[in-house]
Chain A
Amino acid sequence: MGKIFGWGRLGVDGRETFSEDLAKVTRGANLSRGLGRSYGDSSLPAVSTDSVINTTLANRVLSLDEESLVIRVEAGASLVELNKLLIPRGLFSPVTPGTKFVTVGGMVASDVHGKNHHREGCFGEHVRAMKIRLADDSIVECTPTVMPDLFYGTIGGMGLLGHILEVEFELRRIPSQWIWMESERVDDIDSFVSALNTAAPKFPMTMGWIDCLNRGKRMGRGILMAGRWATADEAKSRAPYELPHITVPFELPNIALNAVTAQAFNSAYYWKHLARTKVGLVGPEPFFYPLDAILEWNKVYGPRGFTQYQCVIPRHAGPPAVRAFMELLTRLGGASPLCVIKDCGPEGKGTLSFPLEGTSIAVDMAVSPDIQRIVDQLNEFVIETGGRIYLTKDRFTTKEHFRRMEPRLDRFVSLRDKYDPRRRIRSAQSVRLLGD
């Protein structure tokens, strides 16, 4: 028996079945997973004997209509491959997460959001149709009007209502292969929230990096990045260079990423941005996927593994709630150089879709003996504000906290009762958070 890992590298015993033929292998299966970029246990089996389907060999493009801008792919098709195909033709996915190493099935199941959430919503908003293998082994095609409960339950449903076999979604035309980016050094958390607000109407894409190791006055200092696709006139005549990838060759010792190195990393990141603002052209790679340049960077956390805490704090809770969250976070000390802030637009239609109007904060944390206590305290805070966490990043939220933060839970459970009353489809996460 081998091990199956999420991106946070806390593995469980299990075995994956790989096949090009998802319709064949998902029959009777317990869980589908893609490239395993979910951090926690969303893509891990509940017990080692559960049958887990790895979809990545099912990667065909079934149709691509450049007129109507609709593409249909098998669920294991990855954004890496699709980008290579689409960008040179002036097309792009309407929504991309911060890594291109994701499958389309995973993008639907997590209902991923990107830097353009305030404009375009989540990926699920652009899905037209899906072919799904249900727990009773039937295969159905669902759309916003055909079996809409299944359709919207599957968007953000973490794979728990059925195995996604094929996805049809809309594409966007892009005017060039370059991004016009403006970035700005921001001094503290309050300025950050207001800077994101100011940038949102001007730019289709915004996000920020926060140095969340600093406390006090400089708490929440960081870099705000805003961008849009460059017009054909602005763009360089050549395509952006393909960036070389480097691979972290082996798991570094636990000590490699401690508070001191993290602090040094963050300061370097902040002060590299010497000018207060920078403007110019960048390629989509460094803009959308800065972390992808280092393959397998998750190994820097060492064998203890890590998790990401991502929550959204509702707009109505106001900037003081964001500041208070940052204060709590820095006080609890889950030291990490990576902290991302983004303002989210309105909640989507996916039954369990993560974003809601407000401020999302994501921070990586090494797993330590304190991790459960830290996550519990952050969750208590987030629940107070009326916010919630992102399931695809989560490994430590308790069932009780999840119930309290998720008013849509009953609706989702009733969908599971309808489509999988015997709970054949399950993950380690569903057992942890839903009890089965």
Chain B
Amino acid sequence: MKAVLLGATTGMGRAIARKLASRGEALFLLGLDEEDLAKSAADLSARNPSLAPVRFAVCDLEKPETFAPALDAASEALGGFDTVIVTAAMFATQDALEDDIELARRLVTVNYANTVVFCEHARKRLLARGGGKLVVFSSVAGERGRKPVAIYGSSKAGISAYLEALDHKFYSEGLRVLCVKPGFVRTGMTAGLKAPPFAGEPEDVADTVISAMDRDESVVYAPRVWSAVMTVIRALPRAVMRKVNF
């Protein structure tokens, strides 16, 4: 595997990068800050002395002009890549987003519009080599319009729909799209929030996602129990959803 990871300096992305590195996969990191990327690359190398050097490039989901050069740099360093994993996204509470409409604009732009644009660049490069894996983190928050995640969730609903369509459209050409739908996972992103039941750990999510990648699944809930939780939530009538606060 030759994988490009966007957002792997922290959280679930970091956990996935460490597991892939321990399997000896060739990795290339994309993220916001050069120094931070260098530290993550050093971490992966220090943990895996026989790993090919991990290189990196700056890529900012708020700056679409960075996407193509970043992916080209990855392609050059890896000699072409067959896997792209996107964990990068913004999060803010519904209250914060309602208080600051500019933040809301940035968040939906990063999580939806610009993630789609990034994926378009990525999938074209994958298809040009005859296919490959595109793994993108959406969220269970995109499954149903819900009060506490009205804005963030809508950006994830959009990305889920896009990923499903990509799978339908390009499956026959060899593109394997995996839409990851984490439930609540204890990472820096959620550290200020009260953990609900079934909260997961990033290392376990990484195992789930990697096994779903290996088996070419197209949607995976992580932790997997969230699949059942969301079946229930999807079935709740609108009248109930108006009343409850989740």
Cα(A16)–Cα(B39), bound, Å: 24
Interface residues of B in 179-219 (CB under 8 A from A): 187-188, 191-192
Cα(A20)–Cα(B49), bound, Å: 23
B46 touching A18, Cβ below 8 Å: no
A132 to chain B, nearest CB (A): 17
Does B83 lie at the interface of the complex (its beta carbon under 8 Å from any beta carbon of A)? no
Does A234 lie at the interface of the complex (its beta carbon under 8 Å from any beta carbon of B)? no
B191 neighbours in A (Cβ, 8 Å):
16-19
A19 touching B42, Cβ below 8 Å: no
Query: Which single residue of chain B is at the shortest CB-CB distance from A74?
Result: B39
Q: If the complex has contacts A61-B46, A64-B46, are A19 and B188 also in contact, measured as CB distance less than 8 A?
A: yes
A330 to chain B, nearest CB (A): 43
B188 touching A20, Cβ below 8 Å: yes
**Contact-residue size bin, chain A (C-beta under 8 Å from the other chain):** 10 to 19
A18 touching B42, Cβ below 8 Å: no
B195 to chain A, nearest CB (A): 11
A63 touching B46, Cβ below 8 Å: yes
CB-contact partner of B47 in A16, A19, A85, under 8 A: A85
B51 to chain A, nearest CB (A): 12
The number of A-B residue pairs with CB atoms under 8 Å apart is 38
Does A66 lie at the interface of the complex (its beta carbon under 8 Å from any beta carbon of B)? yes
Query: Which single residue of chain B is at the shortest CB-CB distance from A66?
Result: B49
Cα(A64)–Cα(B40), bound, Å: 13
A20 touching B42, Cβ below 8 Å: no
A60 touching B188, Cβ below 8 Å: no
B192 neighbours in A (Cβ, 8 Å):
17
B205 to chain A, nearest CB (A): 15
A328 to chain B, nearest CB (A): 45
B120 neighbours in A (Cβ, 8 Å):
none
What are the nearest 5 A-B pairs in CB distance? A18-B191, A60-B43, A64-B46, A61-B46, A20-B10
What residues make up the interface of B, taking CB atoms closer than 8 Å to A? 9-11, 14, 36, 39-40, 42-43, 46-47, 49, 187-188, 191-192
25 contacts between A and B (CB under 8 A): A16-B191, A17-B191, A17-B192, A18-B188, A18-B191, A19-B188, A19-B191, A20-B14, A21-B36, A57-B10, A57-B187, A60-B39, A60-B40, A60-B43, A61-B42, A61-B43, A62-B43, A63-B42, A63-B46, A66-B49, A71-B46, A74-B39, A85-B46, A85-B47, A89-B49
What residues make up the interface of A, taking CB atoms closer than 8 Å to B? 16-21, 57, 60-64, 66, 71, 74, 85, 89
